[in-house]
Amino acid sequence: MVTGSTNIDPTYWVENHADYLNGYAMLRLRKPEIAEELVQETFLAALRARNNFSGNSSIRTWLVGILKHKIIDYFRSKRRVRPLTDYETEDRNTAEIFDQSANWKKKPKDWGADPEDAFEQKEFWTTLHRAIDALPNRMAEAYKMRELDRQSTEEICEILDITPTNLGVLLFRARTRLRDALGTEWFGIQRN
């Protein structure tokens, strides 16, 4: 496999990078047909622009960059007013758990596993992805853009057509739900 290569020969792109790009797109879009379409568009755009590839990064990094732009364009094209159900109220007061910056006010008790070990385990990732998939679409989109894609507040707000305050609420609720889901499904914490 030539993942780190700067070889711009397109005949190797699909073989060496399609699965990775498809997984990347699926994680962000949760729609197989859209993910596949955007990966194909990525390859076409790369083919058209291959003479502009500077070689300052690997082919995979370059392709992922193109795919990120395709995903952002997709979300921008889907801008619309979201139903109020995406902003549903929580059963408990999450303000007791996190501060205004979405940091823990009080660290959770020990979940019984070394976080670095759990982080590396495939089962953990499967559980995390399942928990993300269970979030409402808008909340999941915001969480993935911020935490997985590391996009700025401004970028996310522009793509989702929301205010920074709304983004803060979505991220706060997403983190709370993910913490609860991982606590129950991964760490076996029984909730009252």
Q: Return the residue matching tokens 């007791």.
A: 96
pLDDT in the model for residue 116: 61
Other C-beta atoms lying within 10 Å of the C-beta of residue 52: 9
Complete DSSP assignment for 136-160: -HHHHHHHIIIIIS---HHHHHHHH
How far does Cα 136 stand from its chain's mean position?
13
pLDDT band at 102 (very low <50, low <70, confident <90, very high): low
pTM of the complete model beyond 0.75: no
pLDDT band at 28 (very low <50, low <70, confident <90, very high): confident
- Domains of the chain, with CATH numbers? 10-77 (1.10.1740), 84-185 (1.10.10.10)
Range name among 17-26, 59-68, 80-89 with the lowest pLDDT average: 80-89
| Residue 87 pLDDT greater than 50, yes or no | no
150-164 per-position pLDDT tens digit: 889 998 998 888 999
Please give the radius of gyration of the chain, using alpha carbons only, rounded to the nearest integer: 19
